[in-house]
Amino acid sequence: MIVALLILRLHGYSLLSVQTASMVPVFGPGDAIIVRPIPARDLRPGDIISYHSPLNPNLIISHRLTRIDHHTGWLTTSGDALKTPDPAFPPRLIIGQAIAVTPNLGLFLNKLRQPLDLLLAVYLPAVLTIITEARHLMLIYTQPFYSVRL
């Protein structure tokens, strides 16, 4: 799975953890979505897109595209579970189009954002693997070498 995520990342795809229920039933809190980069000109109403919030660039919103203003190019989205549309925003804020949902993977991604959980899930196994391999190599290279003369 890690190799697949690295390949996706190399091709510009993003893996985003869903934090709210604004898109239920399509996806909900604890899910993860895979987002592929896409030019704004290729978007159509009905697509689910991810973009940086115009009010807070650190916040990423993933909602359904409901309108494209053909004069300004600005986009309007709305969460499927919400009654009102989001404020319109310029296309430069687009990250991409959601192409797949991975149920519950967002829970794991959220855990990795906690320092202790990251340590236990990633760094500790990596260090243990390095120590084990180093010991193995030391045993191989400290063994006496015997040669037989004929």
Q: Count other Cβ atoms within 10 Å, centred on residue 110.
A: 16
Whether 39 is covered by a domain: the verdict is yes
Amino acid in position 74: W
Whether 90 is covered by a domain: the verdict is yes
pTM, full prediction: 0.74
What's the whole-number mean pLDDT along residues 95-108?
Answer: 93
Whether 87 is covered by a domain: the verdict is yes
pLDDT, residue 74, reads 98
Which residue, 105, 72, 69, 71, is CA-closest to 85? 69
Asked if pLDDT for residue 76 goes beyond 90, the answer is yes
For the ranges 3-12, 55-64, 72-81, the lowest mean pLDDT is seen at: 3-12
Higher-pLDDT residue of 5, 26: 26
What's the whole-number mean pLDDT along residues 43-54?
Answer: 98
How many domains, the chain? 1
The CATH number given to whatever domain includes residue 58 is: 2.10.109.10
pLDDT, residue 36, reads 97
Higher-pLDDT residue of 81, 140: 81
Domain that holds residue 55: 2-108
Whether 142 is covered by a domain: the verdict is no
65's tokens: 């595209």
Amino acid in position 15: L
pLDDT, residue 108, reads 80
Write out pLDDT tens, residues 51-72.
Answer: 999 999 999 999 999 999 999 9
Write out pLDDT tens, residues 103-136.
Answer: 998 888 777 777 776 677 777 888 889 989 988 8
